[in-house]
Amino acid sequence: MDNQKLILFFALSFILLLLWQAWQQDYGPQPAAISAVTAEDKASPPSSPEDVPLSPPADGQAALSDQLATTPAVPAEVHEALVSAQRIHVITDLLDVEIDTIGGDIRQADLRAYPVAAKTPDIPFQLMQDRGQHVFIAQSGLLSKQQAVTHHTQLTATQNEYRLANDQDKIEVPLTWRGADGISVVKTYTFHRNSYAIDLTQEVRNGSKSEWRGHAYRQFQRTKPGEDEKSSFTRTYTGGVIYSDENKYEKIKFDDMDKKDLSREIKAGWAAMIQHYFVSAWIPQADETDHYYSKAPADHPYVLGMVSPEVSVGAGESTQFKSRLYIGPKEQHRLEKVEPGLKLTVDYGVLTVIAQPLFWLLEKIHGLLGNWGWSIMVLTMCIKLVFYKLSETSYKSMANMRRLQPKIQALRERFGDDKQRMSQAMMEMYKKEKINPLGGCLPILVQIPFFIALYWVLLESVELRQAPFILWINDLSIKDPYYVLPLLMGGTMFLQQQLNPAPPDPIQAKVMKMLPVIFTAFFAFFPSGLVLYWVSNSLLSILQQWIITRRIEKAAHKTS
């Protein structure tokens, strides 16, 4: 395999890699992450999600108690059955949230620091909503045979709006339910300044004459993303994720939920729904072992959640179920402060071990320059410097092969179709000239994982979302609106080809000439930050290869 074939091989391999990743999102095989619910699980689960009612009771709390005692049901309701009552509006420096008094659900969440688009800075990105075609909400409640307070229960609030004042570090939003037998529940959300993490406390006050026993549950309901939410060229994962000390980061895909229910006991874990740049996660207390579950009933939103162990509350006593809810961007510094492992939702894939240091360096460079575009270019220079010697070996091999092209062509004309004698003659010539025809392979192979890792860093990092560069490029996370960078990339690929030895095979030569055109069309729809990296890398490679080629050609001219 000569260097031209190697370049062609890896160029086409990169295109196939991106197509394969897109195919995997839709049609890939399911992982063995979700364990099926067995008969034993359903017979005596330690904390069963089956107790969460399917739909609101028709005849009040008594009917609900009967339902809990006799009829198991899935923890979701029909999309159209999302009943709404009083809305509580909560505004902090970072969040704009609506809480419904039906169950105390978080029905809408806008991220004030993240506009929908750079050209509309006053319209915040909406991460959660209960209206329209796409539903995504956070729910919680208490399961009990004595007195259940679920996401169908009507709660009461003292005011309709809460706003974090300039002199406040937090605000508390209480919702209350009182039963006829003396049991009451106070559900309190606590919002903090400069934080996307929300504390949730569900306090049970037992004013009755008998013991109360029950569990707390927390769950997400979300519809499957439609085709309008997908990108054909830069496909990222949208769906469920769970974390445990044993298995770390596991994806729970919507298609997997369709096939089997998640049923697992996890201590010190969390459950999340993630998408490109953003995440919502329920985080129980660190010492708590919860039963994690998923459900995908027909014509219902998908459900991913957890149920706490059972707690007993004696007459005249009270207890609190505590958890946290993160609703916000996948900013790694924030995520690692909220919960260990949560920053893994910034999904760099199997090359995380390489991608994380690259992001760290990119962030440090940005701290000095203050511009993500220039930071990408400087990072590219740093990578080129690290691999300078390896690249030099590759370019020397290409330059020597270029120098021998006339002799190789003469051998082809001499031996014609006698491939065996042709190969022997070429090997003798390489040996005489002290040239390894595969000398450029290893340097390129070593650099490929770093290129793919950087690709995921630039694609997954929310810090680059709507980040401006210069002139017309005001968002590095979307395509170049005037396609200038893709055209520059195609031009640099063409120039780089001129420095390489021409393929002797006419068909291969035509394919190589088409590559700049194919890549230009392909990258025209890629985020401009990725194309900027490719252009920067190509320009530096051209400069390095030109210098090395000139040096070798001069040395060969002197010795001849």
Residue 375 is encoded by which pair of tokens?
Answer: 């930071």
Pairing type for strands 318-329 and 212-222 reads unpaired
Q: Are residues 282 and 416 in the same domain?
A: no
* Beta carbons of 118 and 475 less than 8 angstroms apart: yes
pLDDT tens sequence across 359-403:
999 999 999 999 999 999 999 999 888 887 777 776 666 666 666
Q: Are residues 341 and 362 in the same domain?
A: no
Which of 316, 347, 378 is a domain's end point?
Answer: 347
pLDDT at 252: 94
Total number of domains in the chain:
2
User: Is residue 356's pLDDT more than 60?
Assistant: yes
Q: Are residues 98 and 186 in the same domain?
A: yes
Q: Is residue 287 part of a domain?
A: yes
Q: Is residue 279 part of a domain?
A: yes
Selected residue with higher pLDDT from 529 and 173: 173
Q: Are residues 337 and 361 in the same domain?
A: no
Q: Are residues 338 and 425 in the same domain?
A: no
pLDDT at 504: 58
Q: Are residues 312 and 375 in the same domain?
A: no
Q: Is residue 333 part of a domain?
A: yes
Q: Are residues 314 and 170 in the same domain?
A: yes
* Beta carbons of 306 and 46 less than 8 angstroms apart: no
Query: For the domain that residue 168 is a member of, what is the CATH number?
Result: 2.70.98.90
Global pTM reads 0.80
Selected residue with higher pLDDT from 469 and 29: 469
**Residues contacting 443, CB < 8 A, separation 6+:** 387, 390, 391, 393, 394
Which of 305, 323, 347 is a domain's end point?
Answer: 347
* Beta carbons of 321 and 201 less than 8 angstroms apart: yes
Q: Is residue 144 part of a domain?
A: yes
Q: Are residues 312 and 427 in the same domain?
A: no
Q: Is residue 127 part of a domain?
A: yes
236: left (phi over 0), alpha (psi -120 to 50) or beta: beta
Q: Percent of the chain, pLDDT > 90?
A: 46
Q: Is residue 26 part of a domain?
A: no
Q: Any idea which of 28-32, 105-109, 231-235, 242-246 has the lowest mean pLDDT?
A: 28-32
pLDDT at 541: 82
Give the Cα separation of 116 and 121 in Å (integer).
7
CA distances from 211 to 45, 238, 309, 529, 531 (A): 21, 43, 16, 60, 64
Which of 291, 320, 347 is a domain's end point?
Answer: 347
Q: How confident is the model at residue 131 (pLDDT cuts 50, 70, 90)?
A: confident
DSSP 321-332: EEEEEEEEE--H
Within 10 angstroms of residue 435's Cβ, the number of other Cβ atoms is: 15
Whether the CA torsion 3, 539, 468, 454 is positive or negative: it is: positive
Q: Are residues 313 and 410 in the same domain?
A: no
Q: Is residue 103 part of a domain?
A: yes
Q: Are residues 279 and 307 in the same domain?
A: yes
Q: Are residues 131 and 203 in the same domain?
A: yes
Q: Are residues 420 and 319 in the same domain?
A: no
Selected residue with higher pLDDT from 547 and 288: 288
pLDDT at 2: 42
* Beta carbons of 247 and 539 less than 8 angstroms apart: no
User: Is residue 77's pLDDT more than 90?
Assistant: no
What is the extent of the structural domain holding 382? Answer: 3-20+355-559
Q: Is residue 412 part of a domain?
A: yes
Q: How confident is the model at residue 63 (pLDDT cuts 50, 70, 90)?
A: very low
